Chains A and B, each alone.
Chain A
Amino acid sequence: EAGVTQSPTHLIKTRGQQATLRCSPISGHTSVYWYQQALGLGLQFLLWYDEGEERNRGNFPPRFSGRQFPNYSSELNVNALELEDSALYLCASSMGPSYGYTFGSGTRLTVV
């Protein structure tokens, strides 16, 4: 069974540009979660999508947005990139909390 896949693995953008990160959940998982992990810090919750709808978002500005497609894959878009957006972005999928969340390997975004 394929795990959670994220692309690209690495992404370098300049300040002011837009970044698009992609995530494919495990087959059968309908929930997708996005997290930001800045260097040396813990995970900060960004967005939760379930059945195509945004269910919850963390304390991030509106330039962080995303969507979930009918096949449950998801995109995270970051507009007007700032230097402090440089971080590891992790996607996780789940059937429900008691099953645990399966994470992808992440996309390392560097803003220069």
Chain B
Amino acid sequence: AQKITQTQPGMFVQEKEAVTLDCTYDTSDQSYGLFWYKQPSSGEMIFLIYQGSYDEQNATEGRYSLNFQKARKSANLVISASQLGDSAMYFCAISDSNYQLIWGAGTKLIIKP
């Protein structure tokens, strides 16, 4: 069975600094997808970035990049030049063979001015 572990329950980061949110996963599937979502206090889940298990290049989307280390089963999210609006909960998830997302517990990120 798939499992996602996010070891950082909360983080403080100074505005404009880069931040790395950790995510490790466990799966027996050869083909899987890894996702990062942001959930601001409003509750909506916002899709940030996706990495397929066979993608050789690390995914990037604007200020977001995914540091994918397949051998270590690690899929850390890197946010460059953090902004106050980045303060939110961040969830890592993995899709299984039924396209069901298995979620981590989340990391609460607080950006300090």
Q: Which residues of A contact B98 (CB under 8 A)?
A: 48, 55-56
Is A97 a contact of B33 with CB atoms below 8 Å? Answer: yes
Is A100 a contact of B47 with CB atoms below 8 Å? Answer: yes
Q: Which residues of B contact A101 (CB under 8 A)?
A: 35, 45, 47, 101
A72 in contact (CB, < 8 A):
no
Number of contacting residues on A, CB 8 A? 28
Query: CA separation between A88 and B52, bound complex, in Å?
Result: 29
A102 in contact (CB, < 8 A):
yes
A90 in contact (CB, < 8 A):
yes
Is A108 a contact of B43 with CB atoms below 8 Å? Answer: yes
Q: Which of B42, B93, B98, B101 has the most CB of A within 10 A?
A: B101
Is A96 a contact of B43 with CB atoms below 8 Å? Answer: no
Distance (Å) between the CB of B49 and the closest chain A CB?
8
Residue in chain B with minimal CB distance to A6: B44
B interface with A by C-beta (< 8 Å): 33, 35, 37, 42-47, 50, 52, 91, 93, 95, 98-106
